[in-house]
Amino acid sequence: MRLDVRGRRINISLNGNILGRGTEKEAKKTFQAYKQYLVQVLFKNKKEKEINVDWQKLEELIQAADYRQQVAIRQYVYAVLLSLGILRRSRRGSYVFSHEDLNPVWGMPDAEYSPWEVGTIYFARKKDAIAYGKAGEADSAYNWDISRRVEVVTKQQACQ
């Protein structure tokens, strides 16, 4: 599917084991249900070919949504980010939060916002892990770190 965001096009494949849902018709229906969220949080800069995520906007959209839809919206957006390579299934070589519950969980909800958890995912890029932590966990009562092998970013560093 093509997603036009801020004057730039992002191609998202609905085939495969991440976004494929039964039939192609079901996958397209589900994509259309969540498209309104994707166009608000994904963007490409003119100079960069890289797809970026507005993690703060994503958190705001989820908090503003009906409580029955919040988990499904989060899971589907994360599934799209996983299909785009922004998030990963493997911890190896990824940026990981020290508290396992802070790492995102992806799922494959349907067009009616019925969530279905698949598993924990991790960050391919340091900037996304930091922005995610800052957007959703800056006010948490406990400390956390983001690490990748021997590199560590503390909560204080991430939220500066």
The string of pLDDT tens digits covering residues 26-73 is 889 999 999 999 999 999 877 778 899 999 999 999 999 999 899 999
pLDDT of 20 higher than 90: no
Q: Tokens 């991440």 identify what position? A: 18
What confidence score (pLDDT) does residue 137 get? 81
- CA-nearest of 75, 21, 10, 12 to 43 is 10
The radius of gyration of the chain from alpha carbons, rounded to an integer in Å, stands at: 15
Residue 57 to residue 65: CA distance in whole angstroms? 12
Range of the domain at 132: 2-158
User: What is the torsional sign of CA 85, 87, 92, 94?
Assistant: positive
Domains in the chain, number: 1
In this prediction, residue 124 carries a pLDDT of 97
pTM of the model: 0.88
Cβ neighbours for 7, distance < 8 A, ≥ 6 positions apart? none
